[in-house]
């Protein structure tokens, strides 16, 4: 529900809120194991009352690699409502005699500004009926809400339901102690995951660093760079 460069690809209806063209890269290292790392690159281009986005992601290593790419578009539908959609392509390649698997799908989101301080976000991924599926992609639905408590503090919460498992409940906050700095923290019920991070903007570059914990698997780290073309 919170507008931003990376959040635009978690809910495509946020794309129209990006004030300028931007490009970003992200590296997510799960549990300190390089073979489980994900590398992501993305571009966002704002238009009048709309926004376009292009994202590419690579997971894995030489013997197991998963590639995904998406083309997204978001549009302001009214003063308080915006919507967006993204077409996705997935490819998985494994070593040996196993065939390469490819699949196409889509995802869509909706953003509703309830008031000056509160907003609601809804996102659905791969909403394809079981009878029409030719792959093993999961389907999911996420609903979240956020509240601006002050100019420095924002809080939010969401729940996700997926065909891969039970519901996941998440909550988090963002605190801005200085003009160009943000401190973030959160919790996810899956794996009793606690998350924390920091962001710093040195125009035209924004740097974000994040950490998450798992009750059995340890700590994951993520770092991203975003460049704005103002």
List of residues 6+ apart from 89 with CB closer than 8 A: 68, 69, 70, 102, 103, 104
Ranges under pLDDT 50 in the chain: none
CA atoms of 200 and 121, how far apart (whole Å): 25
Q: What is the pLDDT of residue 98?
A: 67
CATH T-level fold of 6-229:
Porin (2.40.160)
Residue ranges of E strands in the chain: 21-29, 38-47, 50-61, 64-76, 81-94, 101-113, 118-125, 140-148, 153-162, 165-178, 181-188, 193-202, 205-214, 218-229
Question: What's the confidence (pLDDT) of residue 63?
Answer: 80
Enumerate the domain spans of the chain: 6-229
pTM greater than the 0.85 cutoff: yes
Q: What is the pLDDT at residue 15?
A: 95
Task: Give, in order, the Cα–Cα distances in Å from 28 to each of 1, 39, 110, 186.
Answer: 22, 7, 27, 17
Of how many residues is the chain composed?
230
């Amino acid at each position: 529900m919170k507008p931003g460069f990376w959040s635009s690809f978690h809910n495509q209806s946020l794309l129209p809120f990006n004030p300028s063209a931007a490009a970003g890269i992200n590296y997510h290292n799960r549990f300190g194991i390089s073979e489980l790392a994900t590398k992501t690159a993305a571009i966002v281009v704002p238009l009048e009352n709309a926004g376009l986005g292009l994202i590419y992601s690579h997971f894995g290593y030489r013997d197991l690699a998963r590639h995904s790419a998406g083309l997204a578009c978001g549009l302001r539908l009214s003063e308080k409502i915006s919507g967006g959609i993204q077409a996705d392509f997935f490819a998985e390649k494994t070593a040996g005699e196993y065939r390469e698997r490819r699949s196409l799908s889509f995802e869509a989101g909706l953003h509703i500004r309830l008031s000056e301080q509160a907003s609601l976000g809804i996102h659905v991924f791969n909403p394809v009926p079981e009878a029409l599926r030719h792959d093993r992609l999961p389907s999911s639905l996420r609903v979240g809400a956020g509240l601006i408590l002050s100019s420095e503090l924002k809080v939010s919460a969401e729940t996700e339901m997926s065909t891969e498992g039970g519901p996941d409940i998440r909550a988090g906050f963002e605190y801005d102690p200085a003009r160009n700095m943000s401190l973030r923290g959160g919790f996810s019920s899956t794996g009793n995951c606690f998350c924390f991070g920091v962001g710093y903007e040195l125009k035209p570059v924004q740097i974000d660093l994040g950490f998450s914990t798992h009750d059995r698997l340890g700590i994951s780290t993520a770092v991203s760079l975003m460049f704005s073309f103002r």
